[in-house]
Amino acid sequence: MMDECPPNYDGGSVATRYVEQSACILTYDGSRVDCALNYTVLAIDLLICAFFLNTQAHIRNDDVESNRRTIAALISLGLVLLFQIGLCLALFCSGISIVWCACFGWFLKKSSLKSTGFANDTTAAEDPLSNHSSTVTPQQQEQHDVLYEEYTSPPNNMERAPNQLLCGDICMGLLNVGLICYYALTAESITTIAHLCAVLLGMLLALLEDYVTCPCCVSCCCPFLEIPIAGITRENGTVNISSSD
């Protein structure tokens, strides 16, 4: 976040002013160096994150689950982009650094969960009822245990993520940390603070995605939003598991 992009009040409609100001924000007010650095890092971050999601989908071999996680990731990306533009419209700054910093934080959290070898990241997820054992009924706890165990158990074809992701970890880390350090030396301190906060934002979004895409979490906490799991049905308040031959 750098360079001022104040609104142009010399004629034109309000919509036109916002469009011009947004263009200034996304182009770093015409700075070719900043555009080259930031858009290069953003493109590489997005490619690595997309490769990560594709690898997870291949290992998990579950189209519904993969689509759910991809949609959640795209929604997170869209929200961060809107937050970036809205913040710069309010503060008259420019840049997309919050977006790639959030992607970096998202990948850091996802890759740390990936290191366990389970592609759906739920093995490291917190049990949603672990902190509320005293407030749930035995029936709710039993139903939760069945759903949670079924969802977090690795499928028969589970294998560790390919070693190519390690190259992505290293490449992404060097590029993002390097650019954060570059702006820490050349820009105001508030820029570095914003970068670090954006990394934390990406981590929080990754955790939120894991929670909202976990069928057992949704079905236990919000039964009316229950996400179906193959082989598990709920009837009259009880959980039924159908065995596959």
User: pLDDT tens track of the chain, all 245 residues?
Assistant: 565 777 766 666 778 888 888 899 999 988 999 999 999 999 999 999 998 888 878 776 777 778 888 999 999 999 999 999 999 998 888 999 999 999 999 999 988 765 444 334 444 344 544 554 555 566 655 655 655 555 554 444 344 455 666 777 888 999 999 999 999 999 999 999 999 999 999 999 999 988 877 655 555 555 444 445 444 455 554 444 454 44
To 5 degrees, how large is the angle CA 63–CA 45–CA 102? 90
H/E/C letters for each residue in 187-218? CCHHHHHHHHHHHHHHHHHHHHHHHHCCHHHH
CA distance linking residue 164 with residue 168, whole number of Å: 7
CA distance linking residue 62 with residue 101, whole number of Å: 29
Backbone angles phi, psi at 196, to 5 degrees: -65, -40
- pTM for this entry: 0.70
CA distance linking residue 66 with residue 234, whole number of Å: 23
